[in-house]
A and B are shown apart, each in its own frame.
Chain A
């Protein structure tokens, strides 16, 4: 069990640029989640996958955000035309499903949009 891995750890970009983050879940975990967390706040749900199927996407997520999980393994989260309000920690988590929703979190990707 090597844990949930996220890359990069930090990303600094200019407003208007596109960014992509990667998450490698624990290998046997079927569910993969993306959350966004700002300083001192709780993780905000963005989207989740069961295997390769994206089952739900938050209504708070604009069309600039897209996530994929090809072949039910790693996942990518892309933000197009970044805005300063996108600056946050982006967290990935995985879990076995169904029946055990204990989430294992990665260390996150800190995005700063200048």
Chain B
């Protein structure tokens, strides 16, 4: 069985500061890992994915994520947060069949 855990319900960060949203996963075999974002009253949007290759993956809107196989983690990062980054972020894993999502982490960026 595959699963995803997002240990933080909410992350607060000041604008201009770096942000990290945490994610750990469990899957047999090589995982496909994803981050999606959901802005208020809008649908889920793809941010980035890890399939293979470099452990640091770059995605949309300046976000990046670091794949760590030994820690089974895939944390989302951004060097400098913007107020407009405030949204609900979901980590997801696909073990070759279906895509399973985490419960989500709400990011608040204060001006």
Contact = CB atoms under 8 A, between A and B. Distances in A.
Contacts of A102: 34, 46, 49
B88 A33 contact: no
B103 A42 contact: yes
B93 to A, nearest CB: 10
Contacts, number: 52
Size category of the binding interface on chain B = 20 to 34
Size category of the binding interface on chain A = 20 to 34
B104 A101 contact: no
Given A91-B44, A102-B46, A42 B97 contact: no
B98 A48 contact: yes
Contact of B88 (A35, A40, A93): A40
Interface string B62-103: 000000000000000000000000001010101011111111
Nearest to A41: B103
A105 B97 CA distance: 17
Contacts of B99: 33, 45, 101, 103
Interface of B: 6, 32, 34, 36, 42-46, 49, 88, 90, 92, 94, 96-104, 106
